[in-house]
Amino acid sequence: MELLSIGLLSLVALLWGVTNPLLRSASSGLNNNKSTSITGQVGSDLWYLLTNISYWLVFGINQLGSLLFYWTLGRVSISSAVPLANAGTLVVTLLTEECIGTRINRLYSYVGVVFVGIGIYLCVL
């Protein structure tokens, strides 16, 4: 795998990993929307998301990562690209959650990252 491909997959992991916790926090107001009917609930949730600019900004950045990933698949084997991008996303998500102060179980998270790293090593390399 060439250096450019590794760099592109790293950028994808960065874009996805940073936006995952931010999407969760930007859409947290959905829990406050309560309606008595299913139609009202869907309409209320849809209105919340459509009018929430912070959600759209983060969502747009996340989708740029998806477009970049799709473009990178033309250069890299899918059997290498998917595990590398997803493992990188896991690590960046963990670091982002640490930075923004999201409550996570650190021990399980770090053990999970180690196991994912071992799995990537065994499967890809």
**Measured distance CA(83)–CA(76) in Å, rounded:** 12
**Measured distance CA(31)–CA(23) in Å, rounded:** 14
- Tell me: pLDDT of 69 over 70: yes
Looking at residue 44, what is its pLDDT? 79
**Measured distance CA(109)–CA(17) in Å, rounded:** 14
Would you place residue 125 in the very low, low, confident or very high pLDDT band (cuts 50, 70, 90)?
low
Regarding predicted confidence, which is higher, 120 or 93?
93
pLDDT in tens, 19-56: 999 998 887 776 676 777 888 778 877 887 888 898 89
**Measured distance CA(5)–CA(121) in Å, rounded:** 17
Looking at residue 89, what is its pLDDT? 94
**Measured distance CA(7)–CA(122) in Å, rounded:** 21
**Measured distance CA(93)–CA(114) in Å, rounded:** 14
Domain encompassing residue 62:
3-124
Cβ–Cβ < 8 Å for 12, 68: yes
Looking at residue 33, what is its pLDDT? 67
* Domain tally, the chain: 1
